[in-house]
């Protein structure tokens, strides 16, 4: 029969390891160090899913700060004039009321219950999730302009009972953080950048059509015919996804990398490894403009490399997307932003290191640190994971609305977690499963603000985060204030790195989820 005391590395450390080391010290081997605290963690894995707010997935989680704690102001959505909406109206792709959905009472509603009845295995509409929209939706912490500042109207108030999903069980067994916020306002692109640098890329020479048009108050300029949130989706002047570039040159909304895989194809007759710097990208009919210039700001990858700490970014479908991106511009893409034919639906704007000159094609750092997602499972099984792992699932498994569903990503991430728990490295591993951003969905908790917290980039809306480790508190809810930069802060503390300048002073470092 197995001994439960010895099967838990936290428990066996004292009775087994400590006396052995003490004996070595007595014998004159005083150079052998005793591990303590964060030094017990040798491998950190970050799994980055997509586009769900905390209330949207865990608003019913027992003991968490969920939907039941929302006050009337937070739950009651208002129109652009500040008056409460009489009903929630859901809009379709044309920006008009969608006949598939009934009008609903003004407040949160179950997506997987009557009258909607869309279970987690169904693909659903995707609310707009971009920088300036998110700022207005938060509305100074009142969180009551989500419906008015969306392309889908009242759909943003939908949530699920996810207690039957696998990740819910991981959250029950380990630690669920219920006060974790997306590092930056807006969408996936900027929050992937924030994950690695706590910063926004620069695009100083972006053309006018990529720049946001803001009013005197710093909000998006709305068109004169922008309707009431009971009649249609908000209309703004900025091109693309609400304006990709700020007036002063910060790249804040979905833009393409300068290297393949990219939504911008190679230049005819040019190097197939590079995106054509003069070409424009589209996602569907949405114009995204030219690629972002190669970036040079310091990243967490730079800091880890400087200290000699091994690390890698594993991306599902990376090798297939790389081959797809090298095709001549005239050839149809079958992997990049492609949703059919069993494609992984690779999303280039979810690959932040591919925007940086240090990881340009042909560099040693690109070969060393940018890996295909399939390699993750092999490395885990062989005990060969680097000290720091970032894992980005392929698009079909990210849980992103409109092109995949919750259940598929839930099953995929669970399978990765199971493989990691079986890895020889598990005993000294920490895993963070979190989301890049809220996907435009409502959440009731105001983001932290004030000195040491708020800045021009964020933080934005609250998102789920699950901390899994032999050293994580079991069955615990951690209400420490965290944001995406807390992951950087944890890595910085654990590996004694030089801090990155953008990390917020008051953000926690995840240690509140741990016990040693």
Residue 35: per-residue pLDDT: 61
- Decide if pLDDT at 267 tops 80: yes
Alpha carbon distance 370, 318 (integer Å): 9
Alpha carbon distance 58, 159 (integer Å): 8
Residue 289: per-residue pLDDT: 85
> pLDDT, tens digit, for every residue of 427-477?
999 999 999 999 999 999 999 999 999 899 999 999 999 999 999 999 999
> pLDDT, tens digit, for every residue of 11-36?
333 333 343 333 333 343 444 445 66
Residue 288: per-residue pLDDT: 75
- Decide if pLDDT at 245 tops 90: yes
Asked if 194 and 484 count as a contact pair (C-beta separation under 8 A), the reply is yes
Residues 375-404: what's their mean pLDDT?
A: 97
Asked if 92 and 85 count as a contact pair (C-beta separation under 8 A), the reply is no
Mean pLDDT taken over the chain: 92
Burial bucket for residue 363 (CB in 10 Å: 0-12, 13-18, 19+): middle
CATH number belonging to domain 37-65+158-478+491-513: 3.40.720
Residue 229: per-residue pLDDT: 94
Q: How confident is the model at residue 239 (pLDDT cuts 50, 70, 90)?
A: low
How crowded is residue 339: how many other Cβ atoms within 10 Å of its Cβ?
13
3-state secondary structure of 212: coil
Residue 34: per-residue pLDDT: 52
Structure tokens, 314 = 């594993």
CATH 3.40.720 domain locations along the chain: 37-65+158-478+491-513
Alpha carbon distance 366, 69 (integer Å): 46
Residue 27: per-residue pLDDT: 40
CA 73 to chain centre: 27
Alpha carbon distance 343, 243 (integer Å): 29
Residue 275: per-residue pLDDT: 96
Residues 315-330: what's their mean pLDDT?
A: 96
User: Minimal CA–CA distance to 116: which of 61, 57, 161, 68?
Assistant: 161
User: Minimal CA–CA distance to 207: which of 179, 237, 239?
Assistant: 239
Q: Phi then psi for 159, rounded to 5 degrees?
A: -145, 170
- Decide if pLDDT at 174 tops 50: yes
> pLDDT, tens digit, for every residue of 485-513?
999 999 999 999 999 999 999 999 999 99
Asked if 193 and 200 count as a contact pair (C-beta separation under 8 A), the reply is yes
> pLDDT, tens digit, for every residue of 55-108?
999 999 999 999 999 999 999 999 999 999 999 999 999 999 999 999 999 999
Which of 291-306 are b and which e, b meaning 16 or more Cβ less than 10 Å from the residue's Cβ?
bbbbbebbbbbbbbbe
Integer angstrom CA distances of residue 447 from 21, 43, 371, 460, 498: 46, 30, 34, 6, 27
Residue 320: per-residue pLDDT: 97
Alpha carbon distance 377, 367 (integer Å): 18
Report CA torsion sign: 468, 53, 439, 201: negative
Asked if 160 and 406 count as a contact pair (C-beta separation under 8 A), the reply is yes
Q: What pTM, to 2 d.p., does this model score?
A: 0.92
Structure tokens, 483 = 């944001």
Residues 147-157: what's their mean pLDDT?
A: 97
User: Minimal CA–CA distance to 358: which of 197, 485, 192, 489?
Assistant: 197
Asked whether the bond before 115 is cis by omega within 30 degrees of 0, the reply is yes
């Amino acid at each position: 029969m197995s001994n439960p005391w010895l099967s838990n590395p936290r428990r066996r450390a004292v009775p087994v390891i400590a006396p052995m080391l003490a004996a070595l010290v007595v014998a004159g081997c005083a150079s052998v160090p005793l591990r303590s605290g964060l030094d017990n963690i040798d491998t950190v894995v970050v799994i980055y899913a997509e586009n769900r707010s905390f209330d949207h997935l865990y608003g019913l989680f027992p003991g968490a700060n969920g939907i039941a704690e929302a006050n009337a102001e937070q739950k009651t959505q208002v129109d652009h004039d500040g008056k409460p909406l009489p009903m929630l109206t859901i809009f379709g792709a044309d920006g008009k009321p969608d006949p598939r959905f009934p009008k609903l009472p003004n407040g949160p509603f179950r997506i997987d219950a009557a009258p909607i009845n869309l279970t987690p295995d169904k693909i659903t509409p995707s609310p707009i999730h971009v920088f300036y929209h998110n700022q207005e939706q938060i509305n100074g912490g009142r969180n009551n302009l989500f419906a008015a500042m969306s392309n889908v109207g009242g759909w943003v108030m939908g949530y699920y009972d996810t207690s039957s999903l696998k990740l819910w069980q991981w959250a029950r067994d380990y630690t669920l953080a219920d006060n974790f916020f997306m590092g930056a306002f807006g969408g996936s692109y900027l929050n992937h950048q924030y994950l690695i640098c706590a910063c926004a890329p620069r695009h100083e020479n972006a053309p006018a059509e990529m720049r946001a048009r803001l009013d005197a108050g710093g909000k998006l300029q709305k068109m004169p015919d922008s309707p009431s949130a009971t009649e249609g989706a908000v209309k703004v002047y900025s091109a693309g996804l609400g304006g990709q570039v700020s007036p002063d040159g910060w790249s804040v909304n979905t833009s393409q990398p300068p290297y393949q895989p990219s939504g911008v194809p190679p230049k005819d007759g040019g190097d197939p490894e590079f995106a054509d710097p003069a070409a424009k990208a589209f996602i569907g009919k949405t114009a995204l403009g030219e690629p972002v210039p190669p970036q040079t700001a310091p990243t967490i990858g730079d800091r880890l490399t400087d200290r000699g700490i091994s690390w890698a970014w594993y991306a599902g479908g990376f090798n297939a997307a790389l081959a797809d991106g090298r095709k001549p511009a005239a050839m149809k893409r079958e992997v990049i932003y492609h949703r059919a034919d069993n494609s992984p639906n690779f999303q280039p704007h979810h690959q932040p290191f591919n925007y940086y000159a240090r990881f340009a094609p042909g560099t040693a750092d690109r070969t060393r640190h940018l890996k295909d997602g399939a390699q993750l499972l092999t490395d885990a099984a062989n005990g060969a994971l680097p000290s720091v792992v970032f894992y980005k699932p392929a698009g079909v498994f990210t849980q992103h609305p409109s092109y995949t569903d919750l259940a598929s990503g839930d099953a995929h991430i669970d399978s990765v977690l199971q493989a990691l728990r079986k890895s020889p490295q598990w005993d000294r591993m920490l895993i963070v499963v979190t989301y890049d951003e809220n996907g435009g969905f409502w959440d009731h908790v105001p983001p932290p603000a004030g000195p040491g917290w708020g800045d021009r980039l964020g933080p934005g809306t609250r998102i789920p985060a699950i901390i899994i480790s032999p050293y994580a508190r079991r069955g615990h809810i951690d209400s420490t204030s965290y944001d995406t930069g807390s992951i950087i802060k944890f890595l910085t503390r654990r590996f004694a790195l030089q801090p990155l300048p953008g990390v917020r002073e008051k953000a926690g470092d995840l240690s509140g989820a741990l016990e040693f």
